[in-house]
Chains A and B, each alone.
Chain A
């Protein structure tokens, strides 16, 4: 059964953290179509989290067509339209990132500098896409 985590210091709202974890697990193939997510009640009692937060996360996942709730049975992972990322794409992206990281460390950046640089460029790229 899928297990959720919660990072209380990330600044990301808890319901979004739950959505992102499922999205990522689907992308990486840890969750397969037809897998059942835990019941809202189970997530609540496991994480000591507000039930409305879990319900909101599940609603959002349904809206994104990530999962389908079947009354009385549970919530199940959908067949994904864009399918999980092909393993080759994942490997190639991962390798590209590793190469870039090695160059950054070789240039003398430390872990924090790498984080700062990545965050800054990532945000800039996203802002450009929005504009």
Chain B
């Protein structure tokens, strides 16, 4: 096993469909060993990017490198190191859970069936049930157990919790985070629900209109940004670093700034910004505003 510093690197990646560009100029370097969230509204290009990362889709421009290997070559060796869980956790509905496991073992170079069975036993999911008769949360858990049984070094999940109720969502993330705690896996997942990302991710990529608008380590991003509230003004903006968003009411102004935390001007109050607020502010920016 080679320990690549970056789990994923893309350089100038774009994807053009007949109706136009779904993704443009996507350049990323995502560290190995962490949990990376890919956030953005529907239609932002998240699924397109993920499908290129796992080799299901060829980029129109640029290169995608996973664990140090060009993924467009799609060798079985490279692909065996990547796990992918598509939207809505697809299973063969008429297969029993045990049959799904046998199928997984037959289709993969590396497949730890014992581990998958232990995971499912711990969750109380019977092996003799047909996949289609399980609850949505249980189907998601079976699909996750199958993906983890590959012992992937990069696990890619497309909107894994979007269709789950709050309890099933929590249980899914518990298992996923437990797998990260065991080590050896980098997780990349997409989500359009922003408010739960902070607890599970340490790295963030925000896509909007097919472009990367923000990327970085979450703690660093939160430390660099803050809200300044003060008297209504349009003049004092220069010394406040980059203004991401300015909201003016009659007498006061709220600025979301990226200034690395220099002391606020007299009369201004500085507040930390929550991740959700930060992401929304970047999504509201005009699509030309690209920050690295």
Contact = CB atoms under 8 A, between A and B. Distances in A.
A8 B196 contact: yes
A72 interface: no
Contacts of B201: 50
Q: Chain A at the B interface: mostly helix, strand, loop or mixed? A: helix
B272 A52 contact: no
Contact of A44 (B178, B195, B222, B263): B178
Interface in A31-72: 40-41, 44-53, 56
Given A48-B174, A123-B270, A130-B263, A8 B198 contact: yes
A120 interface: yes
Contact of B200 (A11, A40, A41, A48): A48
A53 B269 CA distance: 28
A45 B177 contact: yes
A13 interface: yes
B219 interface: yes
Nearest to B223: A13
A50 B269 contact: no
A6 interface: yes
Contact of A14 (B35, B198, B263, B277): B198
19 contacts: A8-B198, A9-B195, A9-B274, A11-B273, A15-B219, A41-B178, A48-B174, A48-B176, A49-B177, A49-B199, A49-B200, A50-B34, A50-B35, A50-B199, A50-B201, A51-B181, A52-B33, A53-B202, A123-B269
